[in-house]
Amino acid sequence: MIEIENITKRYGDNTVVDTVSMTVEPHTITVIVGTSGSGKTTLMRMINRLVEPSEGMIRIDGADNRSIPGYELRRHIGYAIQGHGLFPHRTVGENIATVPTLLGWDKKRIAAKVEELLTLFQLDPSAFGPRYPHELSGGQQQRVGVARALAAEPNILLMDEPFGALDPVIRAKAQDDLLAIQKHFGTTIVLVTHDMEEAFHLADKIAVMDKGRIVQCAAPEEMLVNPATDFVETLIGTEERPFRLLSIGTAGDAAEAGEAQGEPIAASLSQREALSSLLWSGREALPVVGSDGAPLGRVTLAGLARRAARPQ
């Protein structure tokens, strides 16, 4: 749990973050969105004290984050950034081992962790471990960057536009991987982005920042239905609302009893993707199958349309 209390950051006369308070529940994904210069990155960087606040306090699992030295704190909080920031003079394996090495783990434990993480990120340890970062593709570098952030098994992972440098195809895959990883480790994730699509796809809670203040911090559905200000509404995009609503739930949730013809839809896909498949195939309904291929029912155009409408 991260409790942010009345945190303020000023640079001279310029207030970048202005008396912000929020709580991040454990094992959830909180996405901070906002325009450039809204203070979202500064707010996140105060959690691991890459930036020291001017006023206020941040507690992590009840303890003030200033109770231990900054570098010590940062070793226990994962940190992944845009453009990955991998050390070019170290191999992929050495990069992932960075924090465990700093923490003084023994060699065997480090080697086992590196192998586990590479496997988890679908990179063959024997092939990728000894390579240098520049020998990897952008998507692979990004995965290694996240693996490095997770190497010391932190409870908290901070991510600063981690997918910003990826092309759309790889980005979607990286987002799904992140959700899977979060489920696997139960990590508390705070992610900064300016991409609303990404926010709605990943977030348990979205915090919207504007001019250094948090305008609204709510679950995605809540934010769609009751945007706190015009700014939030603009950010969501009024014409996107029904689709954003659909992108929160999965096709499995929308499955109704019954049968349908055609190419089946995986239950893990979002309802938005299900709608897209329905429209493109020109059918009224399509079957839904679980990850094991077992039929779960069907999704229908009418059913999805009901779900896309403004909740009463």
Partner 1 sequence: MRRFLPNLLRLAALILLIAFLVRPELFEPLLKPLVQANAPAIYNQGSLLSLTLSHLATVFTATFAATLVAVGLAILVTRPVGAEFLPLSRSLVNIGQTFPPVAVLALAVPIVGFGEKPTLIALFLYGLLPVFENAMTGLSTLPKAIVEAARGTGMTAWQQLTRVELPLALPVILAGIRLSVTISLATATIGSTVAAKTLGEVIIAGLQSNNLAFVLQGGVVVAVLAVLIYDAFSAVERALARRAGRV
What does the binding site for partner 1 look like in residue numbers (CB under 8 A)? 48, 50, 71-76, 79, 81-89, 98-99, 102, 132-135, 148
Here the tokens at position 242 are 């029904």
Nearer to partner 1, 23 or 137 (CB): 137
Nearer to partner 1, 130 or 258 (CB): 130
Minimum separation from the CB atom of position 70 to partner 1 (A): 8
Minimum separation from the CB atom of position 47 to partner 1 (A): 11
Q: Assess contact for 4 and 56: CB atoms under 8 A.
A: yes
Here the tokens at position 185 are 């480790």
Nearer to partner 1, 29 or 73 (CB): 73
Q: At what angle do helices 138-150 and 168-185 cross, to 10 degrees?
A: 20
DSSP letters for 280-304: HHT-SEEEEE-TTS-EEEEEEHHHH
Minimum separation from the CB atom of position 223 to partner 1 (A): 29
Minimum separation from the CB atom of position 38 to partner 1 (A): 20
The three-class DSSP label of residue 273 is helix
* Cβ neighbours for 268, distance < 8 A, ≥ 6 positions apart: 250, 251, 252, 291
Minimum separation from the CB atom of position 2 to partner 1 (A): 17
Nearer to partner 1, 143 or 205 (CB): 143
Nearer to partner 1, 48 or 193 (CB): 48
How far is CA 222 from its chain centroid?
A: 19
The amino acid occupying position 100 is P
